[in-house]
Homo-oligomer: A and B are copies of this chain.
Amino acid sequence: MAAKRNAVTTEAPESSAPGEGTALALDSRLSKRVESVIPKKRHEALKWFGWGYNDSQFYGQDGIICFRGEKYPLGGCELPSFTKWVEKKFDLRVDTTKPYPQLPRTYPRPVENAPFLHELKGTTQVDYSVEGIDRLVRCHGQTLNDIYSLWHHKFRRIPDLVVWPRCHDEVVQLVRLAHKHNVMLVPFGGGTSVSGAITCPQNESRMICALDTSQMNRLLWLNRENLTVCFESGIVGQDLERVLRDEGLTVGHEPDSYEFSTLGGWVATRASGMKKNVYGNIEDLVVRVRMVTPSGTLERECSAPRVSCGPDFNHVILGSEGTLGVITEVVLKVRPLPSVRRYGSLAFPNFEQGVLFMREVARRRCQPASVRLMDNEQFMFGQALKPEKSWWSGVVDAMKQRYVTSWKGIDLNQICAATLLFEGDLKDVQRQEALIYEIAAKFQGFPAGGQNGERGYILTFVIAYIRDFGLHQGIVAESFETSVPWDRCSLLCRSVKQRVVSECSKRSINYYTISCRVTQTYDAGACIYFYFGFRSTDVADPVELFEAIEHSARDEILSCGGSLSHHHGVGKIRSHWYRNAVTETGSSLYSAAKRHLDPKNIFALGNLLPLEEAHPQAVASPPPPSTSSTPPKAKL
């Protein structure tokens, strides 16, 4: 590792140059390890078999779907409308007796690299574990395939060892040792990947070591003058925001996973946040980033805001999906907390009008912090999720429904809704609101209340729990997303939904839901998010079937001019299309960079390009004969 005279962490003393009065600006007293909501033994707080907290869950009781979990406003609520929606949509009765899956009694026998273990114990202070449960909860992300495999004890290959480095230098030691002894490393952050990116390759014959970044979660420094902050990569979104909130600041990056996902994971997958219109996506927020590779630490020398200094390798770190190295420290922009936060919502007579509204808002660049447009199916689904007795339902809703359907003469089966979140000074917010409602009116949209908007955003974090409940009830469901130029937006939404309908019909799937929302807007296009699920009670291999249909949907997306991914990343489940998305030249350039930075392929996750294509010469030994080297979906 080359000695660095000017690493990210050494910025603090630099910024205290005499005569600049920066002593106040740089608040190094803040430098501290952050107490995380997620313990080191993550399964003590988080489900081993699915999404989120152990104490938060949908469940059935007396034939009614309920949600438990005090961390969410929906906690303790009964959901009779949702129950009806589910039962009608999937023609089933909610099963309130079925148990959730049990932990396996045995775990795959670990592959051991004795010289590596010997040197790890003898020459480093890095904490580690070989316990089965520690290994199991770090062998996967959150794809349907991952969760289904967990429930059915299908994982043949899980990490053989878990390590918890505490800082950049310990990561440097680990990468050096792994490279020396040819041990595979999996950088593990929040485990929320939905691309198969952190799922262990099932044919890896070398020892696999999960490098858990959770103990690297310090705030290293905060510079109030520059409005920049340096965190270690393992910090979890909600911890990061909590720490900054106490200082009157925010990064403002809120992907739907942000309760559990980490800063390093955001960088590695090119994450997008709900409020990117104010704060930017992760690539807009990153000022500087360090990645430890077997060939050294990759980083930019200075923290200047914008440079012309050859190719920008930050954009090679961003999107590297754990295949090039371990992201250890990140300098991010921060903003003062907004003084005002207000919600709003809009109803439109149909989805096409809503898209025209979204396009006009983007054209005029007057997006509030967030604006999301749901199609009718999602709108109905959201309505169904209202609990029976609470501040957000009942008479008011009935009135609103009457108002919407009679007075405006609008078809409830066509209506679609947008949720709005405004952040800023009071005057700014008022101006934004006035402009948004003025534009909406041009497209037959009308305000549907702040409560409806707020509910939409609150539900975001709860909706992630539904997938596991569905699986429990015999419904497989997952989301997938894309980005698309404006002139293809409506076409793509329509075509993909039609394609899913026709694929379901071909396969005699009669009970399913397919819906979409426009979640982000840009100058030249938008991000579209699809939800798809079907009743799988009569199906032999529901995951294979789901993936086959999702594969077709992706083909349809691509043929409509959509991208391979807006923010989930490629991982393994979209690697089938990667080469085409970046051209042969691009994929070979990726391979060349990979070979250079990681000559022994110790970061052998097999994302982007299937393993053997990315690194033909580096597979350490032939895979066990019984396994297939095909990634989950490439075979479809």
Binding site for B on A (CB under 8 A): 2, 4, 14-15, 17, 19-20, 22, 25-26, 223, 225-228, 269-272, 281, 283, 287, 293, 295-321, 333, 363, 482-488, 490-491, 520, 522-527, 558, 560-570, 578, 580-586, 588-590, 592-593, 595-597, 607-608
Q: In the complex, how many angstroms separate the beta carbon of A16 from the nearest chain B beta carbon?
A: 9
Contact B585 A296 (CB under 8 A): yes
With both beta carbons as reference points, the residue of chain B lying nearest to A494 in the complex is identified as: B19
Contact A486 B302 (CB under 8 A): no
Complex Cα gap A564–B310 (Å) = 10
Contact A589 B298 (CB under 8 A): yes
With both beta carbons as reference points, the residue of chain B lying nearest to A312 in the complex is identified as: B315
Having A299-B586, A316-B316, one finds 13 other A-B pairs with CB under 8 Å, namely A20-B490, A20-B491, A226-B485, A226-B487, A293-B585, A303-B561, A304-B525, A305-B485, A305-B525, A306-B483, A309-B564, A309-B569, A309-B578
Complex Cα gap A315–B597 (Å) = 18
Residues of B near A363 (CB, < 8 A) are 227
Contact A487 B225 (CB under 8 A): yes
Contact A563 B487 (CB under 8 A): no
Question: Would A522 and B306 be within 8 Å (CB), given that A2-B585, A301-B581, A593-B311 are in contact?
Answer: yes
Contact A308 B569 (CB under 8 A): yes
Complex Cα gap A296–B592 (Å) = 14
Contact B20 A561 (CB under 8 A): no
Contact B315 A585 (CB under 8 A): no
Contact B296 A524 (CB under 8 A): no
Other-chain contact of A14, B2, B301, B561 (Cβ < 8 Å): B561
| Residue of A223, A558, A580, A592 most packed against chain B (CB within 10 A) | A592
Complex Cα gap A564–B309 (Å) = 7
**Top 6 A-B pairs, shortest CB-CB distance:** A296-B585, A592-B596, A315-B315, A305-B522, A304-B563, A270-B308
Contact A17 B298 (CB under 8 A): no
Complex Cα gap A587–B297 (Å) = 11
Other-chain contact of A593, B484, B570, B592 (Cβ < 8 Å): B592
Contact A593 B593 (CB under 8 A): yes
Contact B300 A487 (CB under 8 A): no
Complex Cα gap A566–B305 (Å) = 9
Other-chain contact of A309, B14, B225, B563 (Cβ < 8 Å): B563
Contact A20 B488 (CB under 8 A): yes
Residues of B near A583 (CB, < 8 A) are 2, 4, 296-301
